[in-house]
Structure 1
Amino acid sequence: MDLQLAGGIAAVTGAASGIGRATAHYLAGEGVAVGLLDRDLPAAESVAAEINDAGGSAVAIQVDVSDEGSVERAMAQVAYALGGLDYLVLCAGISTLFGKAVDEIDASQWDREFGVNVRGQWLPVKYALPALRASSREPAISIVASDSALFAAPLNAAYEATKAAVLMLTKALAVDLRPDGIRVNCVCPSVVDTPQSRGALGIPEGGYAGIGYPVHSPEDIARYLTLLISPVTRTINAHPLVADFGYSAQSNFPA
C-alpha cells in the first residue's frame, strides 16, 4: 500500500530510542524527511546518521519537551532545516514511578511525570501549529498514549493518569484543529519492548523473551503511528487505536 507520505516532512519527539527511533526509520523508509527531537542529542545524531547513510533525510535537534523555550526553538529549527512541517509524531515519554503507592510519590516526581507525558505532548503541538497550518499536504499528528489510559494496574497511578490525559488531549486537539484540516490520533499499546518499559519493570534487555505475555516491538507501534498520519486514514480522527493483542476484549468472568 502506498501511504502517500513520500516528499513530506515530519518531526518526531523521543526519536533517539525505542518507539521514536523506530518511527523515524519507518517514516524515512516512506520517503519522509525527518526531524529527530530528543533530549539526548548524541543519540539522536546517531539515528540521523543511520537514516542519512541509508539514503534518507534526517536532522537531529536537542529538545526538552517539558520546557517551553526549548520546544519553541526546536520546532522552529525543524521547519527551517527541512523547509516546513507536515506531520508531527509525539513519542517522548517517561515511566519512573511504577511500583510506588500514591502516598509514596513526591509532588515533584508527580509533576515531572506530567511535565514530560502531558505538557510534553501539548507544547510540541503548540509550536508546530504555524508550520502545520502552512502545509500544502494533509497535515496530521499522532501521539503515543497507552492502554494504561484505559485500564488501571496496581501501583502505577501517576503514569496511568498522564496517559489518560494524553488520550483526552488527543480528542480535544482533534476537535479544535479540525477547521485547520489537521487530524490528531493516538496509539494505546500494551507493553512495548523499549528501554523505558524495561527500566520501569526492572527487566534486562532481551528479558521479555518467554515472559508469559505478548509484548510489542517498537516497530509495531511505529507502523501504527505512521499509518495514522497517512492520508490513507484521512477519515480517522480523534481516535485512540488500542493495540493490546485483543486482551481487553476478554471478560474476567470466572467461568
Structure 2
Amino acid sequence: MDLALASARAIVTGDASGIGGACAAALAAEGVQVGVIDRDAVAGAAVAARLNDVVAQADVADEPSVRAAIESLAEALGGIRPGDGLRGCARPLRSGHRRHRHRGLEPGPSGQQEAVVQLTRALSTDLAPERIRVNRVCPSVVNTPMSHTDVGVVDFDTVTYPVQSPDEVARHVAYLCSPASLPINGTTLVSDFGYLARSSFPA
C-alpha cells in the first residue's frame, strides 16, 4: 500500500536504537525527510548519516533543549507543515506545535499509561482545528534493550509469550503518520496479540 508520504517531513525522537530507530528507518524508506533527535549525539549522527537525515541533540526530559532541537530541525527540513509527523512524547509535541504544524504522535514509554491515553485524547481535540492529529501506539513487549531491562529477560527467545520487533511497531507509526489514516484521531492503537482482550499480560 502506498502511504503517500514521499513529500512529508518528520521529526523522530530516540532514534539511536529500538523503536525510535525503527520509526526513523521506516519513514525514510517511504521517502520522508526525517529529523533525528537523540540525547546521544554520536549515535544520533550515525543514524542520520545512514538514512541521509538531519540530526539534533536533545534530552526529551528537558523541554528547552527539545524546543531548540525542533527549531533547528524544522529550519533544516524547510519547515514543518500540516501533514508532517512527529514521533515522540509530550514535550516534543508541545515544542513542535509552538514551532509550526505537524501531525502524528506516538508517545514514548511512560509509567502513567492511562494519563498518556487521556493526554492523547485531549490534545487531539484541542489541535483538530489546526489539522493536527494526535494518536498513540501502545505495544506489548518489544524486543529492545529497554525491554530486556524492564522485563528482566536476557533472551526473548526463551519466553512463552509473543514479543514484537521494533520494525513491526514502526509500521504502525508510519501508517498513523500517513494520509491513509486521515480519519483516525485521538486513538490509542494497542498491539498486544490480543492479550488485553483475553487475559493479564506482563506488559
After TM superposition, the score normalised by the length of structure 2 is 0.91
RMSD of the alignment, in Å? 1.5
Q: Is contact 1:141–1:229 with CA below 8 Å preserved after alignment?
A: yes
Per the alignment, residue 33 of structure 1 pairs with 33
Per the alignment, residue 210 of structure 1 pairs with 158
Find out whether 1:126 has 2:94 as its counterpart: yes
Matched residues, percent identical? 47
Q: Is contact 2:36–2:44 with CA below 8 Å preserved after alignment?
A: yes
Per the alignment, residue 141 of structure 2 pairs with 191
Q: Please report how far the alpha carbon of residue 78 of structure 1 lies from its aligned counterpart in structure 2 after TM superposition.
A: 0.6
Find out whether 1:62 has 2:57 as its counterpart: yes
Find out whether 1:172 has 2:167 as its counterpart: no
Q: How many residues align?
A: 197
Find out whether 1:237 has 2:171 as its counterpart: no
Task: For 1:181 and 1:229, locate their aligned partners in 2 and report how far apart those are by CA, in whole Å.
Answer: 13
In the TM superposition, structure 1's runs of 4+ consecutive aligned residues that sit over 3 Å from their partners are none
Q: 1:131/1:160 Cα in 2 relative to 1: closer, same or farther (>3 Å)? A: closer
Q: Please report how far the alpha carbon of residue 203 of structure 1 lies from its aligned counterpart in structure 2 after TM superposition.
A: 2.4
Q: Is contact 1:19–1:218 with CA below 8 Å preserved after alignment?
A: yes
- Unaligned 5+ runs, structure 1: 53-57, 91-120, 134-138, 147-158
CA deviation vs aligned residue, 1:135-171 (integer Å, no higher than 9, x gap): xxxx41221467xxxxxxxxxxxx542x222111111
CA deviation vs aligned residue, 1:100-147 (integer Å, no higher than 9, x gap): xxxxxxxxxxxxxxxxxxxxx2221122114443xxxxx41221467x
Q: 1:41/1:192 Cα in 2 relative to 1: closer, same or farther (>3 Å)? A: same
Q: Please report how far the alpha carbon of residue 26 of structure 1 lies from its aligned counterpart in structure 2 after TM superposition.
A: 0.3
Task: For 1:145 and 1:73, locate their aligned partners in 2 and report how far apart those are by CA, in whole Å.
Answer: 19
Task: For 1:62 and 1:249, locate their aligned partners in 2 and report how far apart those are by CA, in whole Å.
Answer: 39
Per the alignment, residue 85 of structure 2 pairs with 87
- Unaligned 5+ runs, structure 2: none
After TM superposition, the score normalised by the length of structure 1 is 0.73
Letter of the 1:89 partner, please give it. R
Task: For 1:88 and 1:64, locate their aligned partners in 2 and report how far apart those are by CA, in whole Å.
Answer: 16
SS of the equivalent of 1:72 reads helix
SS of the equivalent of 2:158 reads coil
